Structure 1
């Protein structure tokens, strides 16, 4: 039943040889890996206006030069990451670049920041998508956490079905969103030019007495939240069809062009229409309402905006498992992240991402505004480290044209470093937990790595000297009475060795005498040891006996504890029986260097 349900959810298992068919074309990769960046136009302008409103309505004209500055940074990042793609075609992005050029600790800082960023991406995207729905249907506002959680579950299942299938599902909504936003921008510009929009807005260059450089920098850093997701192409190069790096670079340029055009278009319309941030209605919703009214076109735009904001999380679902795989391959994350699932995706990474992002949505009550500063810091730290790593690489290798490349990466590094510092200083109350969480993540990485190294050293053998030691075997069979389960277990034990001991724990004289008499009558050809337990404990007397056997025979024999276990026909029958065998196994695993085996006996009724 469980297997059938799993097949319905995620589809048939795929052969390892089918992995090439899971690679992405440029158009599908644009849908999967650009959804995060493209969707950010739905809240990037809004984040700028939220900050500027502190200085009053007269300050909103600053949103235009700030948006142009964000576009300039986007251009630098596109050029920088294009160089990263060709330099590191195996993927890994900032983690690999920083580890290779700046050292392991810096690489882990970049990798840890990106992992946190991808978790936040899912939480922010689903929360923002919920905001778009509640803007159109205000009655749903109180249910935004539940809506976001349902969408996380749906996205997790879609991605467990494989990257190609998720790309097929995503392609249509992503391209519908792009078309819808361009229709909105073109229609809005036409309406404004025709004089259809008459909003009282301050002219560009209007003097604002209470504006400050600090406030402008804060608004700029908030607008840079629209650039999150730009690095996804360099992280996920292995997901592209061959030639992978060339296709990734072309897709990156396509994404940057579309993102830049949509972002500046929304910013211009918000300024021209005099749009102000509203807690219960997004900026895009207000622009669509001002352009088309609350008709069919408005609801189509809101629908595809909500959908792309939800699906933006898919960028993280594509990149998080790959990055976790690379960290696991270097022994900084658990080995389970290297395992491919039935559909050839890194399913453990997908599931963990879904669980952690759902916990964040619940913790922050689906409040996007509280999550975005953390989200942006999480991505701008890797941005900065990646650019710095590329600078070091050009200095080391000095390939043809390296000075131009160095200049591009230097500009990128200085700009992203400045934005990171702006975020830290202007929104410290929102991002302070990064300074606690990231060191803990890096300590966890090192702890995992230390465990794997210690384990490897302890398990490693000398092929010329270390040989198996041949010993005898002593089998201890704990029994609770004389039953078919015990008979079955003793038969198996005697097939392995003649040195078999049955052990019974009795609580009183009458119980012990009855067991001795029955055993003598049955006479299975196995010695019975009866232990008295004055405190009604079964585990402690057994442990003392096993200690004695181990001390006397460990040099000459392997000690095996063979545990009889009956298996009930229905799962709920387990609750009708004590679980002494489970406790015994758990204790032995934790305490003893003995072989532990279970002999199952299946009940028919």
Structure 2
């Protein structure tokens, strides 16, 4: 039944040689890898206005020069990540750049930040999409958390079906969103140029505003820069592209940058001219769409596509998180389970972990985007800063042909990213302080995992000085619960190994049972020694493990190996297991950690 449900949800398993068919072209890549960055125009401009609103509506004209600053940063990041794509064509992005040029710990800071950032990408995108949906349908507002969780489960299942299939489905909503915003911006600007928008709705550019300060402007700039989250995703996901992967990735990155710049500047311009103010339960894009079109088909079309892309922007996290996890797992900083491909050739463990972590975040923050965005933005601007700095070090160290312009680009990007990061810490410390706690914890865990893998590798390597076990003989212990086919099967198996000694062990709770069983055993298996143990507290485990420890201690003095052969019957149907005590599994779990004891199970399969 489980396999049938699994087949229905994620499709038939794919063969390993079909991996090449799971690569995506530029059109689909732009949809699934740019959806996070493109969707952020639905809340990035709003974050600028929220900060400026603390001064008053008269300060909204500052959103225009702030938007120019955000686009300058975007340009520096796009050019920089284009260089990263060609310098590190196997993916890994900020993690690989920082690790190779700045050292292991900066690399782990970048990698850890991005892992958390991709979890936040899913949580923020789905929460923002849910906000857009409930803005159009206010009665649903009380069910934000439940709706968001359903969307996360849907996107997780979609990604478990494979990159190609998810890209084919997600491309349509992304391009519909781009089309919807182009129509909105086009019609809105046409209304402005033709005098359809009243001049009194906005204050003229350059109007003096009481209370404005450089600190407020930098804070607004930092908040608006949240629209740049997701820019790095393409550099992490280069292996998903069709060949030539670096060239296709670079072209996709440039196209994403152009679209993001147009959409971001367009929404900011409309918000300024239409005098849009941020409101608690209605998004800025929703207000602009209503002002431009009214509550007609176009309004609902824009809200629908906005909600869709905000929800499906989470797919950027699903595309980049597993590949980043692969790079960290290859370096032994996270469990090797992240290296395993699933039935559909995707890194399914990474996809599932990402989905579960995102649901936990949505529950913790009650799907409130405003509380998630600052932490989300800091999580990406830390890697931005480190990757730009890493590239600066690379150019200074290697000095390839034409390295000076590249150094200038990376220096500009590093400086602005660092300023944005500082502004988040200074202005929203109460919302982002947790990153100062969990990042050191994550890095500590990374190092502990690495140490474990290194220690295991040293112990398993045959070139180590530790001598192999010298075995002079073998003693087999067979725990028995009665005279049955299960026990007979195990005793016959033990005899076939021709050990030096076989000891059957019976644990009795009553003295009468002990003597009766000894009599029966003598008649049934007279050549096999039986040891009966009395359990005062009705426990099988305690007396049995004590006996095994005693035999092992004596056997080790003569270089004898102790093997415990556990009889176990296997029921025909899985649900039958709940009707039995599963004592064999209990015994096995206790004995597996005995240092010099081998544990083996002899199954007896029931036919009915």
TM bucket (normalised to shorter chain) is over 0.9
Larger displacement relative to structure 2 (271-280 or 320-329) = 271-280
Q: How big is the shift at 1:438?
A: 0.4
Question: Cα deviation per residue 1:397-418 (whole Å; 9 max; x = unaligned)?
Answer: 1011111111111111111011
CA RMSD of aligned residues (A): 1.5
- For residues 591 and 58 of structure 1, what CA distance do their matches in structure 2 show? 75
Whole-Å separation in 2 of the counterparts to 1:86 and 1:520:
78
Task: Give the equivalent residue in structure 1 for 2:522.
Answer: 520
Q: 1:545 aligns with which of 532, 547, 568?
A: 547
CA distance in 1, matches of 2:87, 2:463: 39
Aligned to 1:363: 364
Q: Distance in 1 between matches of 2:382 and 2:487?
A: 63
Aligned partner of 2:405 in structure 1 is 404
1:573 aligns with 2:570: no
1:120 counterpart = 2:123: no
SS of 2:567's partner is strand
Aligned residue for 1:586? 589
Q: Secondary structure at the match of 2:201?
A: coil
Corresponding position of 1:510: 512
Q: Does 1:28 align with 2:31?
A: no
* Distance (Å, rounded) in 2 between the aligned partners of 1:306 and 1:409: 34
- Aligned twin of 1:94: 94
**1:321–1:337 Cα contact (<8 Å) kept:** yes
CA–CA separation in structure 2 for the residues paired with 1:454 and 1:463: 12
Aligned counterparts of 1:570 and 1:238: Cα–Cα separation in 2: 43
Contact 2:24 2:240 in 1 (8 A): yes
1:345 aligns to what SS in structure 2?
coil
Q: Alignment partner of 2:157: what SS?
A: helix
Match in the other structure for 2:221:
220
Structure 2 SS opposite 1:478: strand
In the TM superposition, what is the alpha-carbon distance from 1:200 to its structure 2 partner?
2.1
Alignment of 1:257-336 (within 5 A): 257-336=258-337
> 1:455: how far off?
0.8
Corresponding residue for 1:76?
Answer: 76
CA distance, structure 1, for counterparts of residue 559 and residue 495 of structure 2: 19
CA contact under 8 A between 1:130 and 1:147: conserved in structure 2? yes
Equivalent residues, number = 605
Superposition deviation, residue 522 in structure 1: 2.1
Partner of 2:182: 182
**CA–CA separation in structure 1 for the residues paired with 2:158 and 2:281:** 30
TM-score, normalization: structure 1? 0.97
| 1:176-204 CA distance string (max 9 Å, x none) | 11111101110111122233333622111
Structure 2 match to 1:534: 536
| Secondary structure of 1:591's aligned partner | coil
Matched position secondary structure for 2:503: strand
Q: CA deviation at 1:468?
A: 7.0
In 2: Cα distance, 1:248 partner to 1:260 partner: 18
Higher mean C-alpha displacement, 565-574 vs 206-215 = 565-574
Distance (Å, rounded) in 2 between the aligned partners of 1:372 and 1:430: 9
When structure 1 is superposed on structure 2, of 566-575 and 122-131 the one drifting more is 566-575
Deviation at 1:465, TM superposition (A): 9.8
Query: How far apart, in 2, do the equivalents of 1:356 and 1:17 lie?
Result: 31
Query: What is the aligned partner in structure 2 of residue 462 from structure 1?
Result: 463
CA distance in 1, matches of 2:87, 2:129: 36
1:506-552 superposed Cα distances (whole Å, 9 cap, x missing partner): 12221111111221232363221111112222111111111121112
Deviations 1:248-277 (A, max 9, x none): 111110000000000000011111111111
Check if 1:163 corresponds to 2:163. Answer: yes
Of residues 127-136 and 60-69 in structure 1, the stretch that sits farther from structure 2 once superposed is 60-69
Q: Is the 8 A contact 1:474 1:497 kept in 2?
A: no
For structure 1, the 5+ residue unaligned runs are none
Task: Tell me what 1:15 maps to.
Answer: 15
Deviations 1:287-324 (A, max 9, x none): 11111111111111111110100110111111110110
Offset at 1:345? Answer: 1.0
Q: Distance in 1 between the 2:330 and 2:539 partners?
A: 45
1:602 equivalenced with 2:598 (yes/no): no
Distance 2:56 2:461 in 1: 68
**Separation in 2 of the partners of 1:334 and 1:463?**
24
- Aligned pair 1:105/2:108, yes or no? no
Deviation of the 1:556 alpha carbon: 3.5
